[in-house]
Each structure stands twice: as structure tokens, then as C-alpha cells.
Amino acid sequence: MAQKFKDAFQKMAQNMPKGSAGGGGGGGGRGAGAAKAAGRAASALMVAGGMGYGAYNSIFTVEGGHRAVIFNRILGMKDTVYGEGLNFNIPWFERPVIYDIRTRPVNLQTLTGSKDLQMVTIGVRVLHRPDPNQLVWLYRHLG
């Protein structure tokens, strides 16, 4: 079996042209031009990919009922509160922090004793929401 493979590879080696078997000789220099073109295409593809990545990460969306503040790695918190819609930032240097400012209910229940020693359950529903103008202060002090 091994002899058959050896014979087959010897026949293939005899049928191959001498200049194409390895390493860039012959062929009129076409191999060097193809390598340069492939290198240029690869570098152009990397540049286009980097620009696409930067463009994708420079846009963030703030949904309805939400607000965003921007944390800058150099300057810290920006004082601007960004509203709903499409907003822009500088990738890697700025990071948006999005807050939900819709009114949310919290139900609080407690069990207490009355004056005549009966147990009474008291329930309170509290509606709360953060103040959109104070979101920067909220992030700076509470995180």
C-alpha cells in the first residue's frame, strides 16, 4: 500500500513544471506581484474593518423613557444629560451610562398589631422615579 502512494507521488512530481514547485523562482515575477497585491488587500481590509468598528462604536441609542450620561476616561463625568434618540460618543474614551427614568411602583407591606391585639396588614404603594436633571450627580455619588 505504501508503495502505491510512493509511486503516485513520484508521477505527480514528474508532471509538475519545474518552476512552480516552491519558493518564487521563474514565472516571470508574477508571484512577487501577487504577494504585494495580497498584502495591500489585507491591509486595506484591516483599515476598513477598523473604521467600521470605530463608526459602529461611536453611536449609541437612548430608548424612550431613558436618559444617558457620558463618562469620559480623561475628564470624568460630562455635565450633559442626553435624551432619547441617536447620540454620538468617542469610542474607548467615552462610555454612555443609560438610566431608566420612567415612574416605577414599589409595594410595601408590613404586619403590625392594633390597639386591641389584632394583627393588621398595611400596604403602601410608592411611585418613584429619578430626576432627569440630577442624573450626573446620581452617578457621581452613588455609581
CA distance 103 to 84: 16
Kindly state the cell numbers that stand for 75. Answer: 475628564
In this structure, are residues 69 and 82 in contact, taking their beta carbons and an 8 Å threshold?
yes
- Helix locations, 58-118, DSSP H: none
Taking the C-alpha atoms of residue 23 and residue 15, their distance in angstroms, rounded to an integer, is 18
Confidence (pTM):
0.64
Q: Residues 4-60: pLDDT tens digits?
A: 767 777 777 777 666 544 554 555 556 678 888 888 899 999 999 999 999 999 999
Residues above pLDDT 90, as percent of the chain: 64
Q: What is the DSSP letter of 32?
A: H
Which pLDDT score is estimated for 14? 73
